[in-house]
Amino acid sequence: MKQRSRPAPFQPDLLRGGDRATLNAEFLSHAQALGLLFQCTDCLYFRRADRACTVGWPNDALLREPFEAVAANGEPAFCKAFEPE
């Protein structure tokens, strides 16, 4: 029997008509209130000289300002290799 893939935990809000801009704003508000580190510039693997990831992850979307936790396709935009400095 074929298993159905499940969306990320916060994706259902998008599927129910949640506004991506609102979700991104809420994420940034919570991140700021909690002091959450999540961006490349906070990561041990970030090379400031050329704004690249030293482990080779593409980071264009993660460096975009303003940061969008929910990408245009509805998927979460986070780095799996993030290591705070």
pLDDT digits (tens, 9 = 90+) for 6-37: 655 555 455 556 688 888 888 899 899 999 99
Nearest Cα neighbor of 82 from 55, 64, 61 is 55
pTM over the 0.85 mark: no
Q: Containing H/E element for 52? A: strand 52-53
Domain assignment present for residue 65? The answer is yes
Q: Is residue 25 part of a domain?
A: no
The total of structural domains in the chain comes to 1
Span 30-80, pLDDT tens digits: 899 999 998 999 999 999 999 999 999 888 888 988 888 888 777 788 888
User: Which domain covers residue 50, as residue numbers?
Assistant: 39-85
Residue 32 resides in a domain: no
CA end-to-end distance (rounded Å), the chain: 45
Give residue 52's identity as a one-letter amino acid code: A
46-47 vs 52-53, strand pairing mode:
antiparallel
C-alpha 1/C-alpha 19 separation (Å) is 34
